[in-house]
């Protein structure tokens, strides 16, 4: 559940144990937008640099930030399943959310597939449909009418089993299906300017280019902003016992 951020306890130096807080308690975003409006770079807004991009790139990224594509490929039942599934795997627990479901749907509507697929797998849109059907079936086996009807803990358990290849399906290689849907979800998520803000990505380099060649603070471009704290999430997340 998202918090109000009225108190300062979410800041690492203000917390009781001095440890960085969980992701949902990162500092409140002050510039631009991020998913759930918190992040490691609270004073960074990549769209503030839009005047430095070529016109085609500028229009593409600004349109992603202002428009939510209509849903034309997935059925209402598939949408009802896939939305909460994507919320779980992308940890989007509150608004604003990057509209990944709509972005995936738009990609399939335009026929923009990846140009390859596993030999024993259907094309990606069909894989997503079968994943939705599988998740709903598993939910029914666990006593709920659908995946969307599961509580948060039960949803997490189903998704965890999916990620480990532990679900059963007669018409789907479950491990490869996980790879397909995660590839699609992550590629759309990280193509959105709000995700750029969340990870501090400097944005398009053309035509201005990048000036810094060093790692760490010395490599920060003049328009980029420092992290709120520098705890490495790759190390920190496993240390906490989180996935």
Contact 202, 43 (CB under 8 A): no
Look up residue 71 and give its DSSP letter: P
Question: How far is residue 141's CA from residue 88's CA, in Å, rounded to a whole number?
Answer: 20
How far is 220 from 22, CA to CA, in rounded Å? Answer: 25
Q: What's the rounded Cα separation, in Å, for the pair 99 and 92?
A: 10
Nearest to 155 by CA among 91, 96, 238, 212: 91
Helix (H) or strand (E) holding 142: none
CA pair distance 9, 23, nearest whole angstrom: 13
Q: How far apart are CA 172 and CA 27, in angstroms?
A: 41
> Which residue, among 86, 3, 88, has the nearest Cα to 37 in the 3D structure?
3
SS3 state at 218? helix
Query: Considering the entire predicted model, what is its pTM?
Result: 0.83
| Residue keyed to tokens 């849903």 | 71
Q: What is the pLDDT at residue 9?
A: 45
- Cis, bond preceding 96 (omega within 30 deg of 0): yes
Q: Give 140's DSSP letter.
A: H
- Output the pLDDT for position 66: 95
CB count within 10 Å of CB 233 equals 12
Gap between the Cα atoms of 44 and 47, Å rounded: 9
Q: Show pLDDT as tens, one digit a residue, over the chain (243 residues).
A: 344 444 444 444 445 555 544 555 678 899 999 999 988 899 999 999 999 999 999 999 999 999 999 999 999 999 999 999 999 999 998 999 999 999 999 999 999 998 888 999 999 999 999 999 999 999 999 999 999 999 999 999 999 999 999 999 999 999 999 999 999 999 999 999 999 999 999 899 888 888 887 777 777 888 888 887 666 667 766 776 655
């Amino acid at each position: 559940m998202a918090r109000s951020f009225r108190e300062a306890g979410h800041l690492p130096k203000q917390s009781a144990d001095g440890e960085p807080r969980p992701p949902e308690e990162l500092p409140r975003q002050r510039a631009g937008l991020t998913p759930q409006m918190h992040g490691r770079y609270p004073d960074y807004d990549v769209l503030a640099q839009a005047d430095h991009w070529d016109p085609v790139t500028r229009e593409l990224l600004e349109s992603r930030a202002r428009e939510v594509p209509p849903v034309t490929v997935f059925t209402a039942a598939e949408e009802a399943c896939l939305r909460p599934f994507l919320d779980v795997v992308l940890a989007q627990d509150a608004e604003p959310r990057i509209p990944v479901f709509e972005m995936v749907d738009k990609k399939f509507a335009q026929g923009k597939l990846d140009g390859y697929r596993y030999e024993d797998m259907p094309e990606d849109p069909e894989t997503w449909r079968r994943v939705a059907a599988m998740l709903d079936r598993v939910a029914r086996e666990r006593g709920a009418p659908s995946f969307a009807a599961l509580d948060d803990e039960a949803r997490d358990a189903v998704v965890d089993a999916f990620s480990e290849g532990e679900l059963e399906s007669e018409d789907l290689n479950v491990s490869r299906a996980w790879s397909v849907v995660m590839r699609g979800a992550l590629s759309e998520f990280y193509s959105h300017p709000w995700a750029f803000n969340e990870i501090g990505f400097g944005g398009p380099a053309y035509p201005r280019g990048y000036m810094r060649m060093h790692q760490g603070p010395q490599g920060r471009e003049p328009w980029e902003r420092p992290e709120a704290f520098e705890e490495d999430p790759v190390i920190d997340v496993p240390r906490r016992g989180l996935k």
